């Protein structure tokens, strides 16, 4: 697997992450690895950028970084996206989304 195709890669100023998005889901949540990407179900529809906005908001909240630090680098109109997140490490992303251990339940967004 080359550096460009790693699902999560750390850089000097953040993390590059491959995401597989499933819009129109019952609830917004991460569900672990899917086809070499972190799968995130979004309650938002893929209309007028609503799903992209919901994805960035979800990542910002879950990773506790400002929304401005979450940047969609590619895949704006596709389910598979490459996201760059500033000021966070690979280890933090792996820990928060529990990607390095078996998962019992999906990581859901707090509805409050």
For every residue of 57-107, which 3-state class applies, written as one string?
Answer: HHHHHHHCCCHHHEEEEECCCCCEEEEEEECCCHHHHHHHCCCCCCCCCCE
pLDDT, tens digit (0-9, with 9 covering 90-100), for 56-99: 999 999 999 999 999 999 999 999 999 999 999 999 999 999 98
On whether residue 7 sits in a domain, the answer given is yes
107 DSSP β-pair partners: 30
Range of the domain at 86: 3-103
On whether residue 90 sits in a domain, the answer given is yes
CATH number for 43? 3.30.1200.10
On whether residue 19 sits in a domain, the answer given is yes
On whether residue 24 sits in a domain, the answer given is yes
Instruction: Give the residue with greater pLDDT, 4 vs 101.
Output: 101
Q: Is the C-alpha dihedral spanning 73, 77, 81, 83 positive or negative?
A: positive
Structure token pair of residue 59: 């990542």
Spatial neighbors of 11 by CB under 8 A, at least 6 apart, are 84
On whether residue 112 sits in a domain, the answer given is no
On whether residue 59 sits in a domain, the answer given is yes
Please state the domain count of the chain. Answer: 1
pLDDT, tens digit (0-9, with 9 covering 90-100), for 41-68: 999 999 999 999 999 999 999 999 999 9
């Amino acid at each position: 697997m080359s550096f460009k195709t790693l699902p999560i890669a750390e850089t000097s100023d953040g993390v590059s992450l491959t995401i597989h998005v499933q819009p129109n889901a019952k609830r917004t949540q991460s569900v672990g690895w899917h086809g070499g990407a972190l799968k995130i179900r979004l309650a938002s529809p893929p209309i007028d950028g609503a799903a992209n906005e919901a994805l960035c908001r979800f990542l910002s909240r879950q990773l506790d970084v400002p929304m401005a630090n979450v940047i969609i680098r590619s895949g704006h109109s596709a389910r598979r996206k490459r996201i760059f997140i500033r000021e966070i490490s690979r280890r933090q992303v792996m820990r928060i989304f529990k990607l390095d251990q078996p998962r019992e339940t999906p990581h859901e967004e707090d509805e409050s």
